[in-house]
Structures are given as C-alpha cells and as structure tokens.
Amino acid sequence: MLAMAPLAAARAHTLSADATGVPDIGWTFEPWVVVLLVVTLGLYLAGYLRLRARSRRARGFRLRQFGAFVLGWAMTVLALVSPLDALGAALFSAHMVQHEVLMLLAAPLLVLGRPLAVWMWALPSSWRPAIGHGLHAPGVRGSWRWMTSPSVAWAFHALALWAWHAPPLFEAALTRPGIHTLQHASFFVSALFFWWTVLPGRRGHTGDGHAMLSVFTTMLHTGALGALLTLAPGLWYPIYVTPTTALGFDPLQDQQLGGLIMWVPGGLAYFLAGLAIALRYVLDRRTPALAAGHAVPLARSARGSR
C-alpha cells in the first residue's frame, strides 16, 4: 500500500485513456517536485541571510528581490502542488490557468529574484571558486549566452507554446506522467529564459527596443492561439469530454473558456509588461536630459560668480 502511494500521487493529475470519471482533486505532493521546491527555497533563504549579514548596503533592494522570489516560489507551488494541478486533468480551463500561472506569474517573479547569485552565496565558501570557474568555462558560458539571446529565448518559448497545444501532444501529456512532466518543464524553462531576456536589470546585452518587440510579438502569437481555441467549432482535446461532463461542465464551453484565459488575461499580462519596459525606456532617456538641463544654469551661475 505504501509503495503504491508515490505512483498514485504521480498519476493524480493525468487521465487514463479510457477515463470514466474525474480524478481525485487534492494536493499533489509528487516527491521530486516537493524536494526541488524545498531545496530551492532553502538555498535562497540561506544565501539571502548571508548577503544581508555581509553588508548593510542595498538591503532594501535585496529585500525586494527576496519578496519577488518568495512570491514566484509560492506561484510555483500553486501551479504544481495545489489542487489546481489535479483539477487541470478534469478541466481544460483549469489546465490553462495552471500554465498561465507558471509562465506569467511564477517565471518573471523568480527571474526578478535573481536566484543564481543568491544560491551561490548559500554554498560553502570553499566550493564557490570551483563552481564559478566551471560556470565560466567557454562551453558553459557560450551555451548560456546562446540560450539567453533574445531571438533564441523568444523562439524557444513560442515553440513550446504552439507545439504542446497540438492535440496529439497535449493529449499524450494528459495520459502519460512522463510526457506531462516534460510539457510543464518546457513551458516553465522556456518562460524563465524568455523573461530573463526582457525584464529590466536582467537583459544584459538586450536593449529596451528588442525587449518590447519580444513582449508584444509574444502577446500577438499567444493571443492568436487563444483565439483559435476560443473560436474553434469543435473540440481539440476529446479526452476531456468524460471528466468535464462528470463535473457538470460542457466540454466545448470549457475549451472556449481556456482559450479566452490565454487570449485576454494572458495577453493583458504581456501588454502590461511591454508598457512597463516602455516606461522604463522613457524614464532612462529623460534622466540624462534633465541632468544636462540642470547643469547648464549651474555652469552659467558659476561663471557669473567669478
């Protein structure tokens, strides 16, 4: 009985090919997910406390980073552990909410938390030089720069979204836990790389113009996918018919609701992100101009006082 518990947990959010009812809707404590969540939070907390004790400077900035990471971590728990995960096996709309929480809430908040540097500080000091040397090796550094280049990150995210919503792949993910894990990993990892290239302070060599282009084009193509799901005359994923009907919902209306969630709230999130980047761009350009404008009267005043 106890030996079967992990297997039951792993399949709590998938459907059998001949499902005759709804799955159990409860918390899905998959061991590997729980371990990763606990380890990542523990390492971040340890690194944050070490950084805070090391210097009083920028404590407010680090606290904001800490808040962003913890909130992103909580959104990840909501998507992967809470009853929303199991409900996604019965309702397509719930599955869509789960994906949007991972990609539009958890991923950008985790990126804003800057976890890589903080995790490094959680490690023993004797380990850091070797790990840092390994991370700066040409192969690792080159692969990282390639994956975080704007065009590659954009294409990776777009490919994950469109490919996994193809009916054969989406239904395969619903019936096979391993494929379902790969689907969620693709959505989550591609979203992390995408937001890494567009969020202020994380773009590296990426400019504001390219960041705005990435966000608005992503808004357009995800909106198009959401519109196709919303306006489709028939079901894309027939496997949902039995569990959705068992919960008292119309399968086609559930699909339309899921598409609408991607189309409107999802599109709004990208739109707001694009506006925030544009505002940052305008403010960054105004600051030097204002400084120069103030410098002219001061210089004239200095010359007049001689």
**What pLDDT does residue 277 have?**
86
Q: Dig out the tokens for 10 from the structure.
A: 């792993």
With beta carbons less than 8 A apart as the criterion, state whether 57 and 113 touch. no
How many structural domains is the chain composed of? 1
**What pLDDT does residue 286 have?**
62
With beta carbons less than 8 A apart as the criterion, state whether 33 and 1 touch. no
Residue 303 located in a structural domain: no
**What pLDDT does residue 298 have?**
42
Helix, coil or strand: residue 287: helix
pTM of the model: 0.83
Q: Dig out the tokens for 269 from the structure.
A: 């999130």
d(CA 24, CA 281): 48
- Residue 14: give the domain boundaries: 2-124+144-294
Residue 136 located in a structural domain: no
Residue 130 located in a structural domain: no
Q: What whole-number percentage of the chain has pLDDT above 90? A: 54
Question: Is the model's pLDDT at 182 over the cut of 70?
Answer: yes
Give per-residue pLDDT as tens, 206-260: 567 788 899 999 999 999 999 999 999 999 999 999 999 988 899 999 999 999 9
- Average confidence score pLDDT of the chain: 83
Residue 199 located in a structural domain: yes
> Tokens 């929480």 appear where?
101
d(CA 269, CA 199): 13
Question: Is the model's pLDDT at 152 over the cut of 70?
Answer: yes
Residue 223 located in a structural domain: yes
Residue 133 located in a structural domain: no
Least confident of 13-22, 65-74, 152-161, 216-225: 13-22
Helix axes 31-54, 115-122, angle to 10 degrees: 80
d(CA 157, CA 111): 15
- Give mean pLDDT, residues 29-49: 92
**What pLDDT does residue 266 have?**
94
- Give mean pLDDT, residues 271-289: 77
**What pLDDT does residue 21 have?**
56
- One DSSP character per residue, 222-265 reads HHHHHHHHHH-SS-S-GGGHHHHHHTT--HHHHHHHHHHHHHTH
**What pLDDT does residue 9 have?**
36
With beta carbons less than 8 A apart as the criterion, state whether 10 and 177 touch. yes
- Give mean pLDDT, residues 142-161: 92
